[in-house]
Amino acid sequence: MTLGLQCFSAPMDRAQPMVARASLMLNLSHIECLADGRVLTGAECGAFGLIAQGKVDNLSGLSFRATPDAYVAIVKSGNHGCGLGSSAYRYYVNVSRGQLLSTPVDQNISHVTYCACP
C-alpha cells in the first residue's frame, strides 16, 4: 500500500486555508530498497522533505520500541531482498512513543531515524 501524506501548517491569518509544507509518498506494504548513502539522519528525512527529529544507532534484534512520538519513523536493517549497494528500509507514520517497530527484512535493525514536519 502506498500512502500519500502531507505536513500542514496553520497560516498567520486564520481565515486562510492550511498550507502544505511537505508531501511524501511512502510504501507501507513491504521493504523499500534504497542505495546506500542515506546513512545521515538529515538525508533519510530530507529525502521526503522532512526534518530530522532524532536517531537511535547501534541497535540489534528484529524489533525496537519507539523512543519519541514522531511523524515518520524509518527503520533500517541490512540488505536482504535488496541488492549489493542497497539497504532495506521500512516506514511507520504517526508513531507513538513505545510503539513496536519491526525490521524490514530478516536481519537485525541497524538504526531508527525519527522525522518531523518542517
Asked whether residue 86 is assigned to any structural domain, the reply reads: yes
pLDDT at 78: 82
Q: Give whole-number Cα distances, 39 to 9, 21, 36, 62, in Å.
A: 28, 24, 7, 19
Q: Which amino acid is at 47?
A: A
Asked whether residue 12 is assigned to any structural domain, the reply reads: no
Asked whether residue 34 is assigned to any structural domain, the reply reads: yes
Residues present in the chain in total: 118
Asked whether residue 42 is assigned to any structural domain, the reply reads: yes
Tally of domains in the chain: 1
- Asked whether the beta carbons of 89 and 75 are under 8 A apart, the reply is yes
pLDDT at 44: 82
pLDDT at 39: 53
Asked whether residue 15 is assigned to any structural domain, the reply reads: no
Q: What residue numbers bound the domain in which 37 lies?
A: 2-7+20-116
Written as nine digits, the cell of 84 is 549489493
pLDDT at 3: 54
User: How many Å apart are CA 91 and CA 102, to the nearest integer?
Assistant: 10
Asked whether residue 14 is assigned to any structural domain, the reply reads: no
pTM for the predicted model, two decimal places: 0.77
pLDDT at 101: 94
Asked whether residue 13 is assigned to any structural domain, the reply reads: no
User: How many Å apart are CA 69 and CA 77, to the nearest integer?
Assistant: 21
Helix (H) or strand (E) holding 41: helix 41-46
* pLDDT by 10s per residue, the chain, length 118: 455 566 665 544 555 544 445 555 565 555 677 766 555 556 788 877 788 999 999 899 999 999 999 988 999 888 887 877 788 888 888 899 999 999 888 889 999 999 988 7
